[in-house]
Amino acid sequence: MVDEIFRWWPSVRQTRDELPWRSTRDPWLTLLAEMMLTQTQVARVAERFVVIAERFPTAEACAKAPLSEVLALWVGLGYNRRAVALHRTAVLICERHGGEVPCDLQSLLQLPGVGSYTARAVLAFSFDVQSAVVDTNVGRVLARAASGTQLRPREAQTLADELVPVGQVRDWNLAIMDFGHLVCRSRSPMCESCVLASSVCRWQQMRRSSKIEIPDPAVGSGGVSTRQPTFEGSDRQGRGRLVRAACLGPLPEDELCHIAGWPNEHERALRIADMLVVEGIMRRDANGCYQLA
Residues belonging to the active site: 34
Do the beta carbons of residue 118 and residue 38 sit within 8 Å? yes
Q: What is the per-residue DSSP string for 21-53? A: GGG---HHHHHHHHHHHTTS-HHHHHHHHHHHH
Q: What's the rounded Cα separation, in Å, for the pair 33 and 17?
A: 14
CA angle, 38 as apex, 238 and 85 as ends, to 5°? Answer: 75
Nearest alpha carbon to residue 27 among 90, 95, 74, 91:
90
Expressed in percent and rounded to 5, the helix, strand and coil fractions of the chain are 60, 0, 40
Nearest alpha carbon to residue 157 among 181, 138, 185, 183:
138
Q: What's the rounded Cα separation, in Å, for the pair 204 and 210?
A: 10
- Residue 37 makes CB contacts below 8 A (sequence gap 6+) with 45
Strand-pair partners of 155: none
Estimate the crossing angle of helix 235-246 against helix 266-278, to 10 degrees.
Answer: 70
